[in-house]
Amino acid sequence: MLDDLDLFVAIVDAGSLSAAAKRHGMPAPTLTRRLQALEARLGCKLLNRSARRMVPSNEGWQYYEQCKPLLSALRQATDSLDATLNRVEGLVKVMAPVSMANGLLLPVWQRLLQRHPQVRLELLLNNGIGDVLEAGADLAIRVGPQPDSQLNQRRLGQVSAVLAAAPSYLAARSWPQSPGQLAGHDLLLTTPLQNWKLHHVDTDEPQPLPDGARLLVNDMLLGVSLAEAGCGIVLCPLSQCRRQLACGSLLRVMPDWRIPPRPVYALWPQRLALPARVRALLDILLEFAAEEPLLQA
């Protein structure tokens, strides 16, 4: 019925059936039949035919004046929806862990902003597990298994965590050889890694971390900085301390013990069609993940 209503408005605007038919690219008899079907559904005559043109009846004028603004609003809404779904522009709201967003994923945000000038990026950084739907986020980056069936998910890779300390700290306090010996050291732990267990690389034997960490903080970069300063042994993802290990400001501790790799996922709310702006970010994430060795550990 909306199509027939649009044709009726076009006839009134054009002033004749033939002009409206030409504008819509259809034969005049087809337009006449559509108009007659609309009048039959409404139970009133909308147009009176004169010698030269078709003039709306009283009911036709009333219907025209009420419906034309509605059709205009509908077109605007359709155009807006088209822009949202099919054009890479507008706001992309992303939830991500603080340190991962500041470190490992930094190239992702750079690529998105550089490749798509019409996209605006809002990052909601938190090491907790916030509700994606409640936050109105378009996409979230999460570490660990993701059981939420309300969210679509795509695996990006996995991350590993290591123990590391500054040479000055190890020279003063000795090198621990087993998880049990960590109790005599200053542990610098970051949430949520304090709840993870160490596993032996050969036997997969699990051992919990000792209680009473010297530092517990929700910013992994801060933990790494304090470890570099000689304040203790830090447990952190390899992605957060690779530069320090490469230059020697941190040394790997207890290499026979590790935190098993944890999967990294991109998650987004279920919907019939993923907006182009969100699809663009997801494509960049997948591209980055495929080439980043630290996600393929």
The three-state secondary structure class of 248 is coil
User: Residue 258: beta bridge partners?
Assistant: 199
- In this structure, the answer to whether residues 204 and 224 fall within a common structural domain is yes
What domain count does the chain have?
3
The boundaries of the domain holding residue 35 are: 1-86
- In this structure, the answer to whether residues 219 and 235 fall within a common structural domain is yes
Return the structure tokens found at 227: 């470890």
The pLDDT, as a whole number, for residue 68 is 80
Is residue 295 within a helix (H) or strand (E), and if so which, with residue range?
none
- In this structure, the answer to whether residues 228 and 173 fall within a common structural domain is yes
Residues 6+ apart with CB under 8 A from 104: 159, 237, 239, 240, 292, 294, 295
Residues 6+ apart with CB under 8 A from 31: 7, 11, 17, 20, 21, 24
The pLDDT, as a whole number, for residue 186 is 95
Here the CATH number for the domain that contains residue 12 is 1.10.10.10
Residues 6+ apart with CB under 8 A from 120: 90, 91, 92
Here the CATH number for the domain that contains residue 271 is 3.40.190.10
C-alpha 236/C-alpha 163 separation (Å) is: 7
- In this structure, the answer to whether residues 186 and 248 fall within a common structural domain is yes
- In this structure, the answer to whether residues 67 and 180 fall within a common structural domain is no
- In this structure, the answer to whether residues 212 and 81 fall within a common structural domain is no
- In this structure, the answer to whether residues 165 and 212 fall within a common structural domain is yes
Last residue of a domain, one of 33, 62, 86: 86
- In this structure, the answer to whether residues 152 and 267 fall within a common structural domain is yes
Return the structure tokens found at 14: 């054009």
Last residue of a domain, one of 40, 61, 86: 86
- In this structure, the answer to whether residues 170 and 254 fall within a common structural domain is yes
Last residue of a domain, one of 39, 64, 86: 86
- In this structure, the answer to whether residues 126 and 63 fall within a common structural domain is no
Residues in the chain: 297
The pLDDT, as a whole number, for residue 30 is 80
Here the CATH number for the domain that contains residue 217 is 3.40.190.290
pLDDT in 10s for each residue of the chain, 297 residues: 567 677 777 777 777 777 777 777 788 788 788 878 878 887 888 887 765 667 788 888 887 788 888 777 777 766 666 655 678 889 999 999 988 898 899 999 999 999 999 999 999 998 777 788 888 899 999 988 887 667 899 999 999 889 999 999 999 998 999 898 999 899 999 877 777 889 888 888 898 888 888 999 888 889 999 999 999 999 988 888 989 999 999 999 999 988 888 899 999 988 767 889 999 999 999 999 999 998 886
Q: What is the pTM of this model?
A: 0.68
> Do 176 and 281 touch, CB atoms closer than 8 A?
no
- In this structure, the answer to whether residues 139 and 281 fall within a common structural domain is yes
> Do 277 and 190 touch, CB atoms closer than 8 A?
no
- In this structure, the answer to whether residues 201 and 287 fall within a common structural domain is no
- Tell me how far CA of residue 37 lies from CA of 2, 18, 25, 63, 76, in angstroms: 12, 18, 19, 15, 27
Burial 179-190, CB ≥16 within 10 A → b, else e: beebeebbbbbb
